[in-house]
Amino acid sequence: MILVTLGFAVWLHAASSMLAATTVPRAIEEIGGAALLGWAFMLYQLGSIVAGAACAIVVQRMRLRNALALAAVGYAFGCMVCAFAPHFVVLLIGRTLQGAGGGALVALTFVALHRLFTPEQIPRVMALISTVWSVSAFCGPAVGGSFATYSSWRFAFVAFAVQAVAFVVVVRALRLDVAEARHDESVRFPLQRLAMLAIAVLLIGGTGVVLHPVASTLMAIGALWLFYLFVKRDGQSGRARMLPARPWDPRGTLGAGYCLIVLGFISTMSFLVYGPLLLEQLHGVTPLSAGYIVALESIGWGAMAVIVSRCGSVVEPWLIRLGPFVIGGAMVGFAVLMPTGPLAAIVICAIAQGAGFGMMFSFIVKRIVAAAKPEERDVAATAIAAVQQIAMAIGAAVVGIVGNLAGFADGVSQAAAAQAATWVFAAFVPLALPAVLVAMRLAHARGTGSTSRQTRRQAKQPEKY
């Protein structure tokens, strides 16, 4: 039942993140706001990142099941705000709350992962989570499109609010907390650092809205500076940290794991951001078909995660080493094949890029959590989701700048697409080298099973209350 509940939490976030693709356009027809379309996605991401980072403090102040229930309530409230929005600005407020609830659900899922399962079980649990995410990539737009076509776009948000309420009922009935988990309500909530993070995310997102190359570049630089200040200030915050100690030192297991996540997600955002547009402009693919081709990356991830979930400790380091090579090969394939095709080869590259993540991501999570100090494991777990989302935001911003410089600054056309098709992928191929190096370091790490006995004991001792 615990596995199903965690999968349910991931479904709520993953499906609703794709839900807007088919519901928001219909909402614009009814309540206006076409000029603000991009903000419906940006603010969802903002809420997700900030809430995910804040969960490092939340799990210190309350029990896990209470935190999950609170996140689901916030998510449901955001859905209902969207459902009854009279104006698009109100819908944006709802999307922000929805993203915050969904981001917190995913971050808390990683906390449950390390608290309730042994390191040996983590790859199999991650395989389930990856599968749910893959299914969501296909079902989210389909669910939203069905409501928008045959009923009302508002009912799509109501449906997800009802699911969130059902999640609250289920999670309150479960015993998710372990005896060793300690709660300290004196830990202060890091409002200043969260504000810095939120502004940085907004600046990053703004680079995709402001198409002027100089302005978008300055916004990206400002965002990176705020990210730097956030990390620096967080490292000086003692028990109120939202990231573990030395999270970006590639010489350690923690740093190598986080760096690999950042490099991987930054370098692969090109296909998510520009894939549909390039497929439509250069290969005559319909918007729906282009969306599903992009979703094949998630299918590749989920399928590979299931395949490798039962691999032993001997194979695990080799999968971590192999992942960046597969991803790098897919990136080279996109750079070569996107301008002229064939389309079937592009589809293979999409699946391969997802498979590269799928073969190593669960083992990255396993090693990050196992390498953290006992008092920092919750922080290390919640940081995984936040780091992933931040890397995606940075990647989207950088590829937007590259795309503008390569030809899209003057508008979308077949000629501009042909000119930019190679560069939006080739510009990120150099990141494959440092990704390979940190993967080698992470694969060589020892002691990832040191917490197995302790974690197993925790999993068998639920807190009595």
For the ranges 71-85, 208-222, 240-254, the lowest mean pLDDT is seen at: 208-222
Question: Does residue 125 belong to any structural domain of this protein?
Answer: no
Contacts of 199 (CB under 8 A, 6+ apart): 226
Question: Does residue 83 belong to any structural domain of this protein?
Answer: yes
pLDDT level of residue 465 (50, 70, 90 thresholds) = very low
Task: Supply the CATH number for residue 3's domain.
Answer: 1.20.1250.20
What is the pLDDT, as a whole number, of residue 139?
74
What is the pLDDT, as a whole number, of residue 187?
64
For the ranges 78-87, 213-222, 437-446, the lowest mean pLDDT is seen at: 213-222
310 has a pLDDT exceeding 90: no
Question: Does residue 55 belong to any structural domain of this protein?
Answer: yes
Query: Of all residues in the chain, what percent carry a pLDDT higher than 90?
Result: 23
416 and 272 inside one domain: yes
For the ranges 4-13, 278-287, 407-416, the lowest mean pLDDT is seen at: 407-416
Closest to 328 (Cα-Cα) out of 441, 405, 208, 437:
437
460 has a pLDDT exceeding 90: no
Question: Does residue 324 belong to any structural domain of this protein?
Answer: yes
416 and 442 inside one domain: yes
181 has a pLDDT exceeding 70: no
Question: Does residue 123 belong to any structural domain of this protein?
Answer: no
What is the signed CA dihedral for 62, 66, 67, 69, rounded to 10 degrees?
A: -170
What is the pLDDT, as a whole number, of residue 180?
46
232 and 251 inside one domain: no
Output the six-digit token pair for 418.
Answer: 């042909």
Question: Does residue 206 belong to any structural domain of this protein?
Answer: yes
The angle formed by the CA atoms of residues 365, 366 and 371, to the nearest 5 degrees, is 100
Closest to 181 (Cα-Cα) out of 377, 400, 37:
377
Residues in the chain: 465
What is the pLDDT, as a whole number, of residue 342?
92
227 and 361 inside one domain: no
Instruction: Please count the structural domains in the chain.
Output: 3
Host domain of residue 405:
243-460
Closest to 18 (Cα-Cα) out of 135, 110, 100:
135
What is the pLDDT, as a whole number, of residue 81?
95
Predicted confidence (pLDDT) per residue in 89-139, tens digit: 999 999 999 999 998 998 898 888 878 888 778 888 888 888 887 787 767
For the ranges 62-66, 206-210, 280-284, 457-461, the lowest mean pLDDT is seen at: 457-461
454 has a pLDDT exceeding 50: no
Question: Does residue 131 belong to any structural domain of this protein?
Answer: no
pLDDT, averaged across the chain: 82
Predicted confidence (pLDDT) per residue in 54-65, tens digit: 888 888 888 888
Dist. CA 156–CA 11, nearest whole Å: 14
52 and 172 inside one domain: yes
230 has a pLDDT exceeding 80: yes
